[in-house]
Amino acid sequence: MQKTAIITGILGQDGPYLAKLLLEKDYRVFGLMQRHSAPNFENTDWLGVTDKIEFVTGDMTDEGSLLHLVRSIRPAEVYNLAAQSFVGASWDLARVTTEVNSLGVLHLLNALKYHQPTGKFYQAATSEMFGNNHDNGVQTETTSFRPRSPYGISKVYAYWMTVNFRESFGMHTSNGILFNHESPIRGKEFVTRKISDAVAKIKLGLQDKIMLGNLDAKRDWGFAGDYVEAMWMMLQQPEGGDYLVATGEPHSIREFLDLAFKHVGIDDWSDLVGIDPRFKRPAEIHALKGSPQKATETLGWKPKVSFEELVAMMVDADLERQRVKAETPAFSVKAV
Ligand code: NAP
Ligand code: F7E
């Protein structure tokens, strides 16, 4: 029988990649999107899945919409990817961040408990929950949480609520503690895409310089297309669980910049990058390095795309976007 899944956050980065994966596995995919006067389907278009997803309107802050969603679809699997996911904005938007990322998850778990308790649930947890904590330089599933941002704090609540529904009601709920993962459809406010977009424009003479914050922070970056496979694998296990998904390879923003500029033939980028304190965080996470050992051993998951390939893929995609834009004739309106 065809399986049915709900993906929240369908128009973001991970939603379209996961939808593509599930559609290839012959799932019926419902995508929850917020009500927008002008919804942006650019990311689902990029992956060629817009016409295959059944879009439904709802909001993580509106419990009634989630009860209705689960009751009417009765999904086999729910992937909760919706979030106010930008760490940098979470200090100014602490309440919205909490309402969406913490209480929203409680609403969705309750909807499943009441209307589809056998449905399996995936929660998009994050390395931001660890803050600067590590065990001998590495984060694992047993490293304690010490979040450094309202975003990280909101995700810790959701993490424990997901564990609690498993332990209290025997539901199949899982946390994927995912480290940074990127792609050509990453939002432009995140540092990797901000860089790939700017490098493409600088190469083509469309931008002079890029302004950034802390270049010394290190992140464990992987490819979003690889990471959504781990999400699906978690829900195919006999029981729910908590898994860390990472590459185990940290790189600094400086290294990302260096590879991105070199990819377009610019070796010395020192005059092309400026520092603007507005892009620095009130509290920074200095370095992240996750061990995906449990995911590898239990799920059989491994990252496929290397850091170098990821940087090249993102810069190439932004160069191609600019090429297409330049070749598209300007729209002319005929007087009638
Ligand atoms: P994203 O691109 O920011 O997408 C998040 C989506 O959530 C957006 O489509 C957004 O809708 C939707 N959303 C926000 N508020 C909502 C609300 N009130 N009701 C319904 N939908 C709402 O994030 P992503 O990179 O795909 O990440 C997916 C999930 O993984 C997020 O929960 C994120 O926190 C988590 N995560 C991401 C990473 C990473 O490196 N990418 C790592 C660890 C965890 P609009 O499109 O309408 O704005
Ligand atoms: O910042 C530094 C910044 O915003 C990465 C989200 O998906 O991954 C993401 O959160 C680093 C930080 O991602 C700029 O200070 C320097 O150290 O790309 P980011 P993030 O904060 O790591 C985690 C796992 C999530 O869960 C989140 O949802 O880059 N940085 N200069 C900058 N960052 C930004 N955004 N802009 C700059 O100009």
- Do 141 and 200 belong to one domain? no
Angle between helix axes 63-73 and 104-115 (nearest 10 degrees) is 30
Residue 108: CB within 6 Å of ligand 1? Answer: no
Establish whether 126 is a catalytic residue.
Answer: yes
- Do 156 and 115 belong to one domain? yes
- Do 170 and 257 belong to one domain? no
Mapped onto helix, strand or coil, the DSSP state of residue 169 is helix
Q: Going by DSSP bridges, is the β-strand pair 4-8/77-80 parallel, antiparallel, or unpaired? A: parallel
Establish whether 327 is a catalytic residue.
Answer: no
- Do 153 and 254 belong to one domain? no
Cα 60 to ligand 2 centre (Å): 23
Q: How far apart, in whole angstroms, are the C-alpha atoms of residue 144 and residue 224?
A: 25
pLDDT tens-place string over residues 20-43: 999 999 999 999 999 999 999 999
Residue 84: CB within 6 Å of ligand 1? Answer: yes
What pLDDT, on a 0 to 100 scale, did the predictor assign at position 95? 98
Site to substitute for ligand 1 among 14, 106, 220, most atoms within 8 A of C-beta? 14
Q: How far apart, in whole angstroms, are the C-alpha atoms of residue 20 and residue 25?
A: 9
Q: How far apart, in whole angstroms, are the C-alpha atoms of residue 67 and residue 325?
A: 42
Percent of the chain beyond pLDDT 70? 98
Site to substitute for ligand 1 among 30, 37, 43, 81, most atoms within 8 A of C-beta? 81
What pLDDT, on a 0 to 100 scale, did the predictor assign at position 334? 60
CB 104 within 8 A of CB 82: yes
User: What does the buried/exposed string (b/e) look like for 246-278 if buried means 16 or more CB atoms within 10 Å of the residue's CB?
Assistant: bbbbbbbbbbbbbbbbebbeeeebeebbeeeee
Structure tokens at 270: 């020192």
Establish whether 151 is a catalytic residue.
Answer: yes
Angle between helix axes 150-169 and 104-115 (nearest 10 degrees) is 20
What pLDDT, on a 0 to 100 scale, did the predictor assign at position 332? 57
The enclosing domain of 265 has a CATH number of 3.90.25.10
- Do 30 and 94 belong to one domain? yes
pLDDT tens-place string over residues 101-145: 999 999 999 999 999 999 999 999 999 999 999 999 999 999 999
Q: How many domains does the chain have?
A: 2
Angle between helix axes 224-235 and 14-24 (nearest 10 degrees) is 60
Residue nearest to atom 21 of ligand 2 (CA): 87
Cα 253 to ligand 2 centre (Å): 9
- Do 47 and 169 belong to one domain? yes
- Do 86 and 215 belong to one domain? no
- Do 59 and 199 belong to one domain? no
- Do 160 and 211 belong to one domain? no
Q: Which residues on adjacent β-strands are paired with residue 287?
A: 218
Q: Which domain holds residue 125?
A: 4-182+221-245
Low-confidence ranges of the chain (pLDDT < 50): none
Structural element, H or E, at residue 78: strand 77-80
- Do 125 and 266 belong to one domain? no
Residues 8, 126, 162, 247: which is the catalytic one? 126
Distances (CA, A) of 234 to 49, 80, 163, 187, 274: 23, 13, 14, 25, 42
- Do 202 and 230 belong to one domain? no
Burial class (CB within 10 angstroms; exposed 0-12, middle 13-18, buried 19+) of 53: buried
What pLDDT, on a 0 to 100 scale, did the predictor assign at position 329? 76
